[in-house]
A and B are shown apart, each in its own frame.
Chain A
Amino acid sequence: MQNAFLKLSLQFWITVIGIVLVSMLPFLFFNMEGMAMILTLIEAGKIQDGNFIGVSVGIDFYRYFDAIKDVVVSMVHPGDLKYHYFGEVDKPLFPEMFTRYSYSLKVLMGSFVISVLSACLITFFLILLPKALKKTLRFGVFMLESIPDVFLVIFFQITVVWLYKKTGILFYEIVSIDKPIYFIPIICMSIVPTMYLIKVLIQLFDEELDKHYVELAKAKGLQWPFIVLVHMFRNVLISLHNHSKTIFVLMLSNLLMIEWVLNIKGIGYFLLRYGPVNPELITYGLILIFVPFFLLFALLGAISRKNKRSVYE
């Protein structure tokens, strides 16, 4: 137990270090501080543009490690953090970031739960269907899964606008100003993970079909839906844990795109808009999003490992 905990915390810290290293990469290539100074000069109206100041791309490890040191030190006093952008003076980061973060986290968690539940439900019915129908439906899932997430969002928005023009019913506010919207982003975000999960679940079920206990249960004369629901589902859910990382990345990149396209002011929009000028924001944002999901997956992993042990003992 203690050993597993030690291993998990080691994994956690190494991943956090990795996130810091990755998100600080712009400092390796550019003189970000010098560029920020030029930007503030332009904002103040002292110069028109930076054409006469040559800033080039070059690899500088000292700058990189200095920036990393600064970020790590700055995390000690989160209240003092600030960010800036074209024409906007330095703003304090934390109360604002936190409201955006909590909103996005709600959307992420909501769509995670919805996509897992709906994928389980759909797969359950898919398994029970006759073989020919199953094959065509699987092909449909495969087709839907290979449509990129951004385009699903764009199609979604176009359809909503088209429906509004035809019927006069507005399904959601296209531009959200201050009232947070939950229903549409959650629905929109759960499409891609659901399709991925269905694909994985069906694969796992196919592997499970050859195992002896299924044959035994069939031979005993148990009903097929009962076998699927009670006996096979547990084992499949345990192996589903291996795919959690992929689902997380899928959902995160989906979140970024949805917030950007639908103009929702969550953390994804925030990172994309202010990130290029303030790479520190990306570090904080990614770590903030990473922590709860890491805990969730660790919990799920612990549960599944415990179940697995009880199965074999």
Chain B
Amino acid sequence: MIRLIRHPLFIIGFLIIAGLLIGSVVYSIYFKPDHFEPMKIMYDEHKTPIAAAPFKPSEMPPFGSDRFGHSMFIKVLDGAKYTLGIAFSVAFLRLLLSFLIGVIISLSGKFVNNFLKQLIEAFNYTPMTIIVYLIVAPVLVVYGWNFTKTEQMLYPFIVLVLVAVPSASILISDEIKEMMKQEFIVNSKVLGGRKLHILRKHVMPFLSPRLLIIFTQQVIGTLLIMAHLGVLKVFVGGRDIITLNAFEGTTMPVAMLNEWSGMIGGSFHELMMAKWIILAPIYGFVISILALNFMIEGMKSTILNYKVSSAKRKKWKRKKTPIVTAEKNFEFVKNEVNKNVSSL
């Protein structure tokens, strides 16, 4: 664990993610977004108007503003806790479920195993995005009128959790099976260790760092699906419909929270007009995915190094122990031999 904290790539990634989350929470506690009156027209010091919303990134650094004059940087910062929070909790639930199922699969027989694996192969030939979109779109897009807002927020969350469970549980059961082939586990079996005992005492210490890697990979996977859903105009964090012009009846769906995928989906038509409105949440996604990838890279290299170092430590111990006990035994044996000789 200490090695992991020392790894530079891991530190960079962790600091970025932690900074985003802490900044977001601190912002929403101390500076409520409602306190700022959005600025629709920008004046210079002589009170002459120089620009109107949406402001370009050069006019309102660093990311510009949206159509209503809100700073995009602050919106992205505010949204970090929702997007990253959803991604982390989805990944955690996925890992929990798929760990339980993976253990059960790894303990079950060979036939069930092979058949399940083949069936779940279909998930490997189907992009996750299209499965999620297929199941979520009826609730959020096509038949949106039918469902309450809490349903619309909970439902995609549950689907996001469940959709990755089959392939992740196969992955974990494969890891466990690979571990079961190790020599020390065969030894433990010969000595009469039960399956659960072996799992708890021998497999878990090796599996838990790998689970951490799988968890981070699941977070990235969730973020990617959320980004895709944003482009497909599915709002993971729930949506509101605002009326632009009451007389003409023109309405437009808007994300309820400043959640990044909703921000992309809600203003995707801005791509050719005010592209910074789209680019700001995209920067958010890209930076957090990069940071998580850094963390994975750090974890991978430390876990690989960990094996070598533990082997080295064992060698060192083995060398030291015999020297201490050798002398006494030697003397004891010597006396014995003398007695034997004298009796003869």
Contact = CB atoms under 8 A, between A and B. Distances in A.
Interface of A: 10-11, 14-19, 21-23, 25-26, 29-30, 32, 35, 38-39, 49-51, 53-57, 142-143, 146-148, 150-151, 154, 157-158, 161, 245-246, 248-249, 252-253, 256-257, 260-261, 271-272, 275-277, 279, 282, 286, 290, 293-294
Given A29-B138, A150-B228, A151-B227, 10 more contacts: A49-B145, A53-B146, A55-B146, A57-B155, A143-B290, A148-B285, A154-B282, A158-B275, A272-B133, A277-B142
B122 A30 contact: no
Contacts of A245: 124-125
B184 interface: no
A23 B122 CA distance: 10
A39 B164 CA distance: 31
6 contacts: A15-B121, A16-B122, A17-B122, A18-B119, A26-B134, A277-B142
Top 6 A-B pairs, shortest CB-CB distance: A18-B122, A253-B127, A276-B137, A146-B293, A14-B118, A19-B122
Given A55-B146, A154-B282, A142 B119 contact: no
Contacts of B278: 154
Contacts of B126: 19, 22-23, 249, 252, 286
Contacts of A271: 130
Nearest to A282: B134
B130 A256 contact: yes
A142 B231 contact: no
A237 B213 CA distance: 28
Contacts of A256: 127, 129-130, 228
A275 B121 contact: no
A290 B130 contact: no
Interface of B: 115, 118-131, 133-135, 137-139, 141-143, 145-147, 151, 155, 223-224, 227-228, 231-232, 271-272, 275, 278-279, 282, 285-286, 289-290, 293, 297
A30 B72 CA distance: 38
A154 B138 contact: no
Q: Is the interface of A mostly helix, strand, loop or mixed?
A: helix
A257 B290 contact: no
Contacts of A157: 271
Most buried by B among A18, A51, A158, A252: A18
Contacts of B121: 11, 14-15, 18
Contacts of A248: 125
A23 B134 contact: yes
Most buried by A among B121, B125, B131, B293: B125
A248 B297 CA distance: 24
Contacts of A253: 127-130, 228
Nearest to B278: A154
B232 A272 contact: yes
Contacts of B128: 253
Contact of B119 (A14, A32, A249, A279): A14
Contacts of B138: 26, 29-30, 32, 35, 276
Contacts of A50: 143, 145-146
A129 B231 CA distance: 39
Nearest to B127: A253
A279 B272 CA distance: 32
A157 B270 CA distance: 13
Given A23-B134, A29-B135, A252-B127, A54 B146 contact: yes
B231 A257 contact: yes
Contacts of A17: 119, 122
Contacts of A260: 231-232
Contact of B141 (A21, A150, A252, A276): A276
Contacts of B279: 158
Contacts of B123: 18, 22
Contacts of B145: 49-51
A148 B124 contact: no
Contacts of B146: 50, 53-56
A276 B125 contact: no
Contacts of A282: 130, 134
